[in-house]
Amino acid sequence: MPPLIIAHRGDSAHRPENTFASFMSAFEVGAQLVEFDVQLTRDGHVVVIHDHTVDRTTNGHGDVREMTLAEIRALSAGYPSRFGGDWAGERVPTLQETLAFLRGRARAMIEIKKDSVTGDGAGGVEARTVAEVRRQGMEKEVAFLSFDSRALLRCREQAPEIARGQLFYREDLDRVFLAAQTIAAEIVMPEKGMLSPQLRERARETGIKVGTWVVDDPAELKALESLDLFGVGTNCPGVLIEALL
């Protein structure tokens, strides 16, 4: 079975990442699974943005964690350094808005950024993200991702019914599967440079699904066929979906 194509921050090669424009474009090219990132504002709102600052993808400057939602919403999220003024009307969406936008259109993988993980387990980014998913009734339509095991342990404690997956970059295989066991992960998502037949066999033995990121080239996707991947994160979902047809 071919891997699921995961729209990484939406159709992010062609639209400003983590915006409604990017998500809509992903729907239009046939993506059924969208990945996006969440950070926590100073006033406790979960917002959809990758970096812990607004500098790269908006027309503003500042640390998301030190800004209010109103301050962030006043900015354009049109990624002006990359797209100029073409998408100047885009704004940083909240998690609430994003889940409502995706419901009925696509499933979601929500990456909890380690920048926003704090010592506040009861009221931090994890608890607020779990609460919003439940408010939207989307427990079966989302999975939580993170590089941060602490965040995923909290998700396991607070929402054991919601799937979890851990992200890895250049980690030892023993570390990958120990971490997966600790959080009771259904999915591990090592960066593509970590993929190997050995990883595939370990995953088969433990019954864990394997995904990877970021693959934008159909030839590279073809080369990964033998590794039994559950899903592949890509900035070009339309290109890879077409390659699988």
Pairwise CA distance, residues 171 & 192, whole Å: 12
DSSP labels, 134-201:
HHTT-TTTEEEEES-HHHHHHHHHH-TTSEEEEEESS--HHHHHHHHHHHT-SEEEEBGGG--HHHHH
Please answer whether residues 16 and 22 qualify as being in contact, where contact means their C-beta atoms are separated by less than 8 angstroms: yes
Which of the following is catalytic: 8, 14, 45, 61? 8
Q: Is 8 noted as a catalytic residue in this protein? A: yes
CA dihedral 176, 200, 198, 208 (to 10 degrees): 30
Which of the following is catalytic: 14, 45, 50, 61? 50
Q: Is 14 noted as a catalytic residue in this protein? A: no
Task: List active site positions.
Answer: 8, 50
